[in-house]
């Protein structure tokens, strides 16, 4: 049994390591003072070029593991410690999750475009930065830095193309997020969720990352099963996903959509063949419903899920423009097969 003090220490270690990596990544993408900031326990100790010290509290309602972390863990083979992504879907969806995570954290929102917006597909809505402060996550902070320095407001789908290196604008080649999976692995290894092993393959050293803290992944699986197969949504509270996290149900729905889009909802994820059929079918419906905004909650797949999502949305009525970005990124995931085919040809 892990004591509460050990749990707090583990979570605080994750926070400090995220900040250390974020500082290095931010300096590579931007010369801003945010690259000199570090997270200490539940506080940010901020130091600018002007040597002005101030304290910024950790943003309330944010989980310790990002959507990218959780999706990667779901895709990772527990004992073998590697991810199979032969068709590139996982890599593309991870970039979509970066955009969604920034929106859920209140960093970006959809630009108000009046009547013109009614004629736009969800993925065509343009993004603007509303809070440029650091998050402590290297992938989020690198992306946020790119958005802050960009003079134009690009659409959700265009930003995802830039981050994936699929844009035809060669002047924006530096916008591609590189080594995304390796960077996620490093964080999860340092926090103790993954281990690191080196195996020899034809005299070449191959790094694998078997899961060390299987309870963490099982808790994520449990949340997903409540969303995809249960008749009642009762998400467990864990040290990485406590009750204080905002949009707990919506986050889990997004994760289910991302997992389906990345094609990692295989038979091993569910207990029976019947659960597999139900779970994948429900994920497909959720992907369709939440790729539009306002979300089509009146058509939710089960009443309890509908009720809990509605409650979360009513708790944050001022964040509609942020959720519009979430729908736009889910819309990209919903059309991922078409996107990747166009990329190949």
* Domain residue ranges in the chain: 4-334
User: What does CATH list as the number for 4-334?
Assistant: 1.10.3630.10
Backbone angles phi, psi at 203, to 5 degrees: 65, 10
pLDDT at 245: 97
138: DSSP letter = H
The yes-or-no verdict on residue 32 having pLDDT over 80 is: no
pLDDT tens-place string over residues 158-209: 999 999 998 777 788 899 999 999 999 999 999 999 999 887 666 666 788 8
pLDDT at 50: 29
Q: What angle do CA 252, 258, 259 make, to 5 degrees?
A: 90
pLDDT tens-place string over residues 200-235: 666 666 788 899 999 999 999 999 999 999 999 999
Where are the extended beta strands (E) located within the chain?
A: 38-40, 43-47, 53-57, 108-110, 127-129, 197-201, 204-208
Nearest to 140 by CA among 163, 120, 158, 156: 163
- Judged on CB neighbours under 10 Å (0-12, 13-18, 19+), 123 is buried
Average pLDDT, the chain: 82
The yes-or-no verdict on residue 267 having pLDDT over 80 is: no
pLDDT tens-place string over residues 269-294: 888 889 999 999 999 999 999 999 99
Q: What SS3 state is found at 15?
A: helix
- 21 falls in which pLDDT band (50, 70, 90)? low
- Gap between the Cα atoms of 256 and 279, Å rounded: 9
Residue 160 near residue 99, CB atoms below 8 Å: yes
Residue 184 falls in which region: left (phi positive, over 0), alpha (psi -120 to 50) or beta: alpha
Size of the chain, expressed as the number of residues it contains: 345
Average pLDDT over residues 140-168: 94
- Gap between the Cα atoms of 129 and 123, Å rounded: 17
């Amino acid at each position: 049994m892990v004591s509460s003090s050990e749990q707090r220490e583990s979570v605080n270690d994750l926070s400090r390591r995220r900040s250390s990596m974020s500082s290095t990544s931010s300096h590579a993408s931007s010369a801003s003072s945010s690259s000199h900031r570090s997270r200490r326990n539940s506080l940010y100790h901020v130091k600018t070029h002007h040597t002005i010290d101030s304290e910024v509290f950790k943003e309330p309602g944010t989980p310790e593991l990002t959507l990218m972390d959780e999706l990667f863990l779901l895709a990772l083979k527990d004992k073998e410690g590697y991810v199979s992504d032969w068709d590139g879907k996982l890599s593309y969806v991870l970039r979509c999750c970066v955009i969604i995570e920034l929106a859920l954290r209140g960093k970006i929102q959809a630009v108000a475009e009046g009547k013109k917006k009614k004629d736009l597909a969800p993925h065509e809505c343009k993004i603007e930065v509303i809070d440029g402060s650091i998050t402590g996550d290297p992938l989020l902070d690198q992306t946020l830095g790119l958005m802050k320095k960009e003079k134009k407001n690009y659409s959700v789908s265009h930003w995802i193309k830039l981050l994936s290196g699929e844009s035809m604008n060669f002047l924006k080649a530096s916008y591609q997020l590189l080594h995304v999976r390796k960077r996620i692995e490093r964080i999860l290894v340092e926090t103790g969720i993954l281990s690191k092993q080196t195996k020899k393959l034809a005299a070449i050293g191959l790094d694998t990352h078997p899961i060390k803290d299987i309870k963490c992944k099982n808790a994520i699986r449990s949340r997903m099963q409540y969303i995809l197969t249960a008749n009642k949504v009762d998400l467990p509270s864990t040290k990485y996903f406590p009750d204080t996290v905002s949009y707990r149900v919506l986050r889990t729905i997004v994760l289910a959509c991302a997992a389906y889009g990345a094609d990692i909802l295989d038979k091993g994820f569910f207990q029976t063949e019947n659960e597999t059929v139900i779970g994948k079918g429900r994920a497909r419906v959720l992907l369709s419903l939440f790729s539009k905004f306002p979300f089509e909650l009146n058509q939710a797949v089960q009443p309890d899920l509908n009720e809990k999502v509605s409650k979360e949305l009513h708790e944050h009525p001022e964040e509609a423009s942020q959720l519009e970005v979430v729908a736009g990124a889910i819309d990209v995931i919903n059309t991922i097969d078409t996107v990747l085919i166009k990329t190949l040809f």
